[in-house]
């Protein structure tokens, strides 16, 4: 079969665009080559491999897991079923951190990424801020293996630690200037509403956080206050409808004298106009 016939066959069960992406992956060619060579004959091993991937995609396995790659901040990141697929919304979290750093005189910012996953946040910050010292933690050893490979492949100097939130940093962690996190924030009650593609394939450890989705924030906010330097930044991604609950969590943290421990949180909307990122500074 030639390429056009193969793509036509695949497009009966998946979108043609997905078929093209899978063909690019199998043939190690870009889309321009595919468009310029519709009559190219496929070798039998490539045809067998492509058909197998099409079958898996038709069963709603994420395209990124089939190709093993997801772009983030203009860079290719390895992804597998051990890690959450990086989303565009998380790029906005990174952009917010970069803007905060560039607005201050920090010679060598100390940055912590909590819940590293694929390493997208930590690696990107390390590459965009070469003067920074970046540490990243994750509870999953499998996720850390993926993150570490991404760091090595992209040339980012990141310290990787297996840790349940900040536990591995000890009772007196080094003072960080920034703590960034895209924690699990989906309420368990939302499971039935999730797309099968997400629910069946992406790691639940990185998706769900208790009945209301706030379980990790309740633990992370006080731990972050302990680990941040004065006026340090806590930047987190959060889910739909959680803004006011997060505002209350920050406000509830007070000193023994009743003084606020955090600045008034600043909330940023995602590309769809939905509140998605919160920024708060340690007082």
Domain with 38 in it: 3-59
Q: How many residues does the chain have?
A: 283
CATH number assigned to the domain comprising residue 98: 3.40.50.150
28 and 118 co-located in one domain: no
Asked whether residue 221 is assigned to any structural domain, the reply reads: yes
Element holding 114 (H helix, E strand): strand 110-114
Asked whether residue 120 is assigned to any structural domain, the reply reads: yes
- Structure tokens of 209? 């956080």
Q: Is 118 annotated as a binding residue?
A: yes
The DSSP line for 81-132 is TTSPPP-HHHHHHHHHHHHHHHTS--SS-EEEEES-TTSHHHHHHHHH-TT-
Q: Is the distance from CB of 249 to CB of 218 less than 8 angstroms?
A: yes
Asked whether residue 235 is assigned to any structural domain, the reply reads: yes
If DSSP codes are grouped into helix, strand and coil, which group holds residue 133? strand
245 and 112 co-located in one domain: yes
Q: Is 183 annotated as a binding residue?
A: yes
Number of domains in the chain: 2
- Tens digit of each residue's pLDDT (9 = 90 or more) over 220-247: 999 999 999 999 999 999 999 999 999 9
CA distances from 150 to 65, 82, 115, 145 (A): 15, 13, 15, 9
Q: Is 138 annotated as a binding residue?
A: yes
130 and 267 co-located in one domain: yes
Q: Is 209 annotated as a binding residue?
A: no
Q: Is 184 annotated as a binding residue?
A: yes
CA distances from 126 to 166, 215, 219 (A): 19, 28, 26
41 and 130 co-located in one domain: no
Q: What string of pLDDT tens digits covers the 283 residues of the chain?
A: 999 999 999 999 999 999 999 999 999 999 999 999 999 999 999 999 999 999 999 999 999 999 999 999 999 999 999 999 999 999 999 999 999 999 998 999 999 999 999 999 999 999 999 999 999 999 999 999 999 999 999 999 999 999 999 999 988 887 999 999 999 999 999 999 999 999 999 999 999 999 999 999 999 999 999 999 999 999 999 999 999 999 999 999 999 999 999 999 999 999 999 999 999 999 9
- Tens digit of each residue's pLDDT (9 = 90 or more) over 83-134: 999 999 999 999 999 999 999 989 999 999 999 999 999 999 999 999 999 9
From the CB of residue 136, how many other CB atoms can be counted at a distance below 10 Å?
A: 28
Q: Is 116 annotated as a binding residue?
A: yes
């Amino acid at each position: 079969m030639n390429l056009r016939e193969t793509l036509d066959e695949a497009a009966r069960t998946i979108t043609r665009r997905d078929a093209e992406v899978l063909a690019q992956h199998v043939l190690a060619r870009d889309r321009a080559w595919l468009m310029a060579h519709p009559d190219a004959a496929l070798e039998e091993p490539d045809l067998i491999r492509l058909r197998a991937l099409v079958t898996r995609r038709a069963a709603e396995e994420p395209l990124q897991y089939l190709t093993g790659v997801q772009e983030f901040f203009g860079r290719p990141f390895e992804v597998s079923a051990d890690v959450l697929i990086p989303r565009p919304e998380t790029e906005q979290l990174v952009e917010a951190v970069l803007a905060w750093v560039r607005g201050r005189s920090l010679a060598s910012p100390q940055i912590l990424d909590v819940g590293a996953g694929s390493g997208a946040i930590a690696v990107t910050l390390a590459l965009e801020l070469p003067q920074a010292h970046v540490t990243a933690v994750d509870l999953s050893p499998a996720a850390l293996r993926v993150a570490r490979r991404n760091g090595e492949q992209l040339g980012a100097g990141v310290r990787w630690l297996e840790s349940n939130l900040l536990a591995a940093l000890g009772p007196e962690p080094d003072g960080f200037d920034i703590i960034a996190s895209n924690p699990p924030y989906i309420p368990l009650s939302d499971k039935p509403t999730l797309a099968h593609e997400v629910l069946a394939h992406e790691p639940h450890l990185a998706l769900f956080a208790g009945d209301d989705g706030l379980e990790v924030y309740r633990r992370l906010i006080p731990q972050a206050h302990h680990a941040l330097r004065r006026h340090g930044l806590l930047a987190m991604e959060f889910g739909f409808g959680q803004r006011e609950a997060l505002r209350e969590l920050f406000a509830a943290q007070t000193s023994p004298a009743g003084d606020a421990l955090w600045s008034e949180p600043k909330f940023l909307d995602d590309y769809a106009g939905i509140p998605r990122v919160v920024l708060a500074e340690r007082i």
